[in-house]
Amino acid sequence: MEIKRKFSKELPGADCVFGPDDISDYEKDAWDIRISLADAPLEEAFYYTMEDPTAVDLPINQLLKNHALEPKNIDKLDIAEYPDLPFIQTELNLYLENERKNLLKLDFYINQAPESDPLELNNRARNFLGVTTYHDGSHDYRVLDLVLVASPPDLGIFELDDVRRKHGQIYLLLLLDYKEKLGEAEYNKFLSEEPFNDFKESKFDSKYKNIISAIQSMDMKRQVKTASRYGSETDQPLVQLTEEGRTLVKKYKNTATEVAEHYDRYDSCSIAPPALGIPGGFDVRVQMMEIDGKNIPESVLLRVLEDYSEEFFSGDWAQTYENMSFYSNVLNALAYKTNFSLEVLNELKKLGGASQ
């Protein structure tokens, strides 16, 4: 569903005005394309100057593809004044590439414009221009002031069911292990919660039907055993991990540790030149795991659940499971995955190997 948004970003020492009355006075002047991310200030935006005043009549998508975000136009960027522009251009192109792969949803808005739906990029730029004027008179120019909002795509019902089938039981096994380690009293309190009561009563119209189904499946796989299978053994916990279940938990925790040890060094990298530990750099961890043949969704999920166990296993854990909201971190990781060449990745890998 499209969301109406309004952005009111300003530059220090300047006025940014959308569609001012005197915009026709700039008709013969060069103009700028400016792109900022939703939560980033204009001081961190990407800039590209269009020397041709008549280019305002081109569609916005054509201006982005053939001009502002075309890597071959790097010599047209004002690198002397803004050395980070090539870096930001690369980042924006990564977003576009991930949108083409359906890993990311991108929406563009116009800064300082009235609240509106996302911009249709086949519109002409002329209809969405503003003016930026510095108070000291140093700069006064037209600008297509774009704001890029990036978000993971929404999962449909069938996609959500597939995620639950592949990864839901991982969550529940680690949840049981987490609660068990809190002690017998806390574990028994946990097992007295509504989802387990509904399971015990075979309440299949329960709002926790996915949890009930998962427990049954885990019982059949001998990952857990349930007291309902041993009628007279009333002293047994309603649900408890089996040796097979504990072996899986151990495997999952070991994987989370290995992911952290081998890939966290690539969480903030530069590519020109290749370097690790650069503030504000690219997070290359997912792509590094990918070239190593790792199971990306499972590896990322296990890393997240290990790091944020208290957040995901406390509170309304049942709703967290039913909605699969814990999986949003995996979607984010996939959505913002880098797409660097093997040559770049090998150079980073050499640096990572040297730091082991």
Question: In this predicted structure, what is the pLDDT of residue 2?
Answer: 66
78: amino acid identity, one letter: D
Question: In this predicted structure, what is the pLDDT of residue 40?
Answer: 87
CB 155 within 8 A of CB 102: no
Spans of the chain below 70 pLDDT: 1-2, 228-235, 354-356
Domain boundary residue among 114, 129, 151?
A: 151
Question: In this predicted structure, what is the pLDDT of residue 104?
Answer: 87
Question: In this predicted structure, what is the pLDDT of residue 341?
Answer: 85
Domain boundary residue among 93, 124, 151?
A: 151
> In whole angstroms, what is the distance from residue 326 CA to residue 315 CA?
13
Do 120 and 165 belong to one domain? no
Question: In this predicted structure, what is the pLDDT of residue 335?
Answer: 84
Q: Domain limits at 328? A: 157-354
Do 141 and 267 belong to one domain? no
Cα of 59 vs its chain's centroid, Å: 28
Q: How many residues does the chain have?
A: 356
Do 172 and 265 belong to one domain? yes
Domain count, the chain: 2
Q: How big is the CA angle at 95 (ends 124 and 156), to the nearest 5 degrees?
A: 100
Question: In this predicted structure, what is the pLDDT of residue 354?
Answer: 57
Secondary element (H or E) of residue 226: strand 224-226
With CA atoms as reference, report the closest residue to 50 among 149, 122, 126. 126
Do 166 and 299 belong to one domain? yes
* Predicted structure pTM score: 0.74
Each residue's pLDDT tens digit, 124-173: 999 999 999 999 998 999 999 999 998 888 777 888 888 999 999 999 99
Q: How big is the CA angle at 282 (ends 280 and 286), to the nearest 5 degrees?
A: 140
Question: In this predicted structure, what is the pLDDT of residue 233?
Answer: 53
Question: In this predicted structure, what is the pLDDT of residue 39?
Answer: 83
Question: In this predicted structure, what is the pLDDT of residue 7?
Answer: 96
With CA atoms as reference, report the closest residue to 34 among 2, 53, 5, 10. 10
Residue 3 domain-assigned (yes or no): no
With CA atoms as reference, report the closest residue to 286 among 295, 278, 277. 295
